[in-house]
Structure 1
Amino acid sequence: MGGVKKKDCCVVKPAEETWTGSVPLSELDQSGAIIHVSTIHFYQTPSSDLIPTTLKQSLARVLVPFYPLAGRLSRIHGPHHRLQLNCNAHGVNFIEAESEFTLDHFLGTHHHHDQSPSPSADQYTQLKPTVDYTLPIEERPIMIAQLTRFACGGITLCSSFSHAVIGGQSIGVFLTEWARFARGEVCVKTEPFHDRSVLGVRNPSSSRAPHFDHAEEFSQLPALAEGTKKKKSSNKAMTLRISKEQMETLKAAANEGRDTSTRAYTRYEALTGHIWKCACKARKLKTEQATGLEVYVDVRNRLEPPLPSGYFGNSSIGVLAVCNAGEIMVKPLEYAASRVRGAIDKGSRSEYVWSYIDHLKSEKDLSKLQDVSVYGNPNMSVSSWTRIPLYGIDFGWGKEVYTGPGSQRVDGDTVILSSCTGDGSLLVSLCLEALYMASFQNHFYNDIP
């Protein structure tokens, strides 16, 4: 794609000597795909020649407490195919690029409160650092950052992190600390906790916990029914805005008919149920077709004992809700919301999480699980970034005008974001097969009561 020229790439290493050695990754680190996940921040800033230097110097300093990001992964040879993190200070790649476009080219509709689609991850491809997966895993950087300057003086900072090393919560904490260091702070606000073995040892008294059949859960992902016509289609990303008023209406609709002795459905449960309904309708699923929805539960405060504050690693598990598409499409929103809640409640139980980790430990080869994709028709996955500290990241030139996922390429991958407009609206960033997009958008707005 034209428009963006990469000018410079350097390696940023920790500013001081850091601990060196190898750390085995936890089971939760290795049960997902071994890919990089990205966040992108757009800034409407008067461009200054000092910006690259400020970012690189503060990155070198923040990598001292967050030294695992400057390391490399490697495979442990043995009967169990596992990964370890080598803390070797090999450094982070930092790319500088320039674009002939202005910020408005990417964010044109973003400042307006209408229903026109906001920019989507498809448009950001060239603003995102590329990871060379042909390199052996030992040579791939765990983190790569790309700073792109626009013709108008605005900038974006897109940071990609190996998902095997950290998840969303830890990414937010790291970016917040990096920004604080760029503004001149000299020590971290939240000390990162690097001992991943705490996710391997559970309280012995809980070993009599109920048994969960995780092997069955992992294998019960619905497949598209035989005979369903599936045109060859490319996936497309799109971001839709839902206003505070529309969200309140949806939440009220989900709570209509609810047994009042139970707690009210949350924004997340109502919106996720709505997204699931709209996807089933847009894909024109048959009534008897089974459909799966995966939700992610951050377990750091739900475990007994809870994970230490500042735990720097993956701390979320994916839990599946499965039912017939007909029920999701025809029944009131309360039904879909109740299925979402059921999955969250299951994943929030300490004994379930420990049992899930034990199951992963018993798997000889976790890479088998990494290929079991929860995505693709007839399934969806919805994660919420609204509580992750990714907003208001100020490196010294003001807060971002937009932040979101740097890439979405997998059918069914959905992220709920807070909007940077401060008007209480939310953004739903999703990837679907292109032929279902218009229908999804139509249902998304028209099915709000």
Structure 2
Amino acid sequence: MFGSSEIPDCDYQNQPSLVRPWSPTPRHSLYLSNLDDQKFLRFSIKYVYLYRKSVNVENLKCSLSRVLVDYYPLAGRLRISAEDEGKFEVDCNGEGALFAEAFMDFTAEEFLEASRRPNRSWRKLLYRVEARNLLDIPPLLIQVTNLNGGGMILCTAINHSLCDGIGTSQFLQAWAHLTTKSSDPLPISPFHDRHMLRPRNPPDITFTHPEYNTTTTTTTTGTGIQSQWLEEVLQSQSQSLVPISLTFSPSQILHLKRLCVPSLKCTSFEVLASHTWRSWIQSLSPPPSLKIKLLFSVNVRKRLKPELPRGYYGNGFVLGCAETTVKELVGTNYPNIHHGVKLVQEAKAVLTEEYIRSMIDYLEERRVKPDLSMSFVISQWAKLGLEDLDFGEGKPIHMGPLASEIYCIFLPLVGDLDGVRVLVSVPESVAEKFEYYMKDFTHREEEEEEIRENGRDEIQTFLHCN
């Protein structure tokens, strides 16, 4: 049920080349903020796009060279900061992005079918750079894989220390814009400077920041149970992780929202995050007294004063943290998801400017990673415009990550702005249970009828409540 076939190997007729900026660019060191330079962000965000029609590779290289004039830090190289050996900075030296071209004996339709359940063989869609460490890898890697029948797969890898999801979308849209309208100015000019997110001097930590602190149980007697459960989880995770991809239509999301009516209004993200978190916990069956967390990305560009400038493409997000016990989250009144939704809303509400500034100062003093020991992590890729990337031959028919073993990702649905695809990897032993809990809410006709009696609002009111 959970197996998936590997895709064929890529055929490289030529060695990858470096695409440099079209014209001279500024040469300097780019400061990375503490939100950029978190240790858990020292990796590349890897996107996969599938198109029915291929785009001329030379045109893509030419427009990439042009857009790198504006986004010149992506043509530079990461290095250790001269002021602080624990931090990275960008050497804006114009060395260029690595661009690879390949062919695969596969059709677009075959890949579209395979995309229902990604696997590790997808890694071959991105040229593997032999490097000693992350600093030796260009911040921007691109591979165009031409397919049988004229289709094309575009795979991009952008170092997360330079861009967040909004920033990568902004860059990719700029590249696509110059591919189709080479003489037009960019709709959004990039803003490079990161000093608005510098720590205060001296740092002033005014909150405890549970997103980085280690979780503890609520009782001393629970510690032994926790240790036993953690050991079992580690054993289960030594199994191969199975990617689960589930699509939630607008009507299904509405159904979830109605479970919170009439006492609680919520956004699509809040209710789907709560439902996925609960389903993950239920499938793993941890002890009731165990404290567990939900960590999720929150855009803070407009939560700061002054707001981060339009065009800011660095990391402008922080982690929201909801925390509760298994018993309080799951309880016995399934599918009542009020508690989880309220926790997500409270975690968002606490992210004031002072909280964000305190977090930046906290990272300055401690250089810590988020607590992932008993946490479920969601990365929000929906509603960023990632699914609309058009290089002149139409929008993609598939968009998603190259791999999905670490976080749960909420993906946009191509052709349906109000739908969401949930992609998460779980140990094989709990995969069927997880799918059951994710889908089970749609099969309870008696509860649905009771909800109808409580009244219903218009679908679009719920789906666009933000």
Fold in common (TM above 0.5): yes
- For the residues of structure 2 that align with 1:225 and 1:201, how far apart are their CA atoms? 36
Which of these residues, 14, 32, 41, is aligned with residue 49 of structure 2? Answer: 41
**For residue 255 of structure 1, what is the aligned residue in structure 2?**
261
CA contact (8 A) 2:103 2:145 kept: yes
2:378 is paired with a residue whose SS is: strand
2:74 is paired with a residue whose SS is: helix
Q: CA RMSD in A?
A: 2.4
- For the residues of structure 2 that align with 1:210 and 1:98, how far apart are their CA atoms? 52
Equivalences for residues 278-293 of structure 1 within 5 A: 278-293=279-294
Cα distance change of structure 1 residues 440 and 217 upon mapping to structure 2, 3 Å threshold: closer
1:4 is paired with a residue whose SS is: coil
**1:19 offset after TM fit, Å?**
0.3
Equivalences for residues 42-191 of structure 1 within 5 A: 42-45=50-53, 47=54, 51-77=56-82, 81-108=86-113, 118-120=116-118, 122=120, 124-132=122-130, 134-186=131-183, 187-191=185-189
Unaligned 5+ runs, structure 1: 111-117, 259-263
Deviations along 1:196-221, whole A, 9 cap, x unmatched? 1111167x9xx99992123x652234
- For the residues of structure 2 that align with 1:101 and 1:109, how far apart are their CA atoms? 11
- For the residues of structure 1 that align with 2:129 and 2:216, how far apart are their CA atoms? 31
Paired letter, 2:51: Y
Which of these residues, 225, 235, 247, is aligned with residue 241 of structure 1? Answer: 247
Aligned residues: 419
CA contact (8 A) 1:222 1:292 kept: no
Paired letter, 1:343: A
2:388 is paired with a residue whose SS is: coil
The reply to whether residue 335 of structure 1 matches residue 332 of structure 2 is no
- For the residues of structure 1 that align with 2:85 and 2:18, how far apart are their CA atoms? 33
CA contact (8 A) 2:67 2:175 kept: yes
Cα distance change of structure 1 residues 380 and 6 upon mapping to structure 2, 3 Å threshold: farther
- For the residues of structure 2 that align with 1:67 and 1:147, how far apart are their CA atoms? 21
- For the residues of structure 2 that align with 1:128 and 1:57, how far apart are their CA atoms? 20
- For the residues of structure 2 that align with 1:85 and 1:123, how far apart are their CA atoms? 31
CA contact (8 A) 1:256 1:334 kept: no
Deviations along 1:269-304, whole A, 9 cap, x unmatched? 000000001000111122112211101111111111
CA contact (8 A) 2:297 2:378 kept: yes
Cα distance change of structure 1 residues 198 and 79 upon mapping to structure 2, 3 Å threshold: closer
Cα distance change of structure 1 residues 55 and 225 upon mapping to structure 2, 3 Å threshold: same
1:7 is paired with a residue whose SS is: coil
- For the residues of structure 2 that align with 1:160 and 1:12, how far apart are their CA atoms? 14
**1:24 offset after TM fit, Å?**
1.9
**1:156 offset after TM fit, Å?**
1.0
- For the residues of structure 1 that align with 2:377 and 2:346, how far apart are their CA atoms? 15
Cα distance change of structure 1 residues 158 and 431 upon mapping to structure 2, 3 Å threshold: same
**For residue 300 of structure 1, what is the aligned residue in structure 2?**
301
**For residue 35 of structure 2, what is the aligned residue in structure 1?**
28
- For the residues of structure 2 that align with 1:101 and 1:178, how far apart are their CA atoms? 26
Unaligned 5+ runs, structure 2: 1-5, 218-224, 445-466
CA contact (8 A) 1:121 1:238 kept: no
- For the residues of structure 2 that align with 1:184 and 1:423, how far apart are their CA atoms? 25
- For the residues of structure 1 that align with 2:260 and 2:114, how far apart are their CA atoms? 30
**For residue 393 of structure 1, what is the aligned residue in structure 2?**
389
The TM-score with structure 1 as length reference comes to 0.87
**For residue 460 of structure 2, what is the aligned residue in structure 1?**
none
- For the residues of structure 2 that align with 1:357 and 1:380, how far apart are their CA atoms? 22
CA contact (8 A) 1:106 1:123 kept: no
**For residue 432 of structure 1, what is the aligned residue in structure 2?**
426
Deviations along 1:370-426, whole A, 9 cap, x unmatched? 4x552x6x421112212212121110111111111222122xx11112211337422
Percent identity reads 26
Cα distance change of structure 1 residues 123 and 342 upon mapping to structure 2, 3 Å threshold: farther
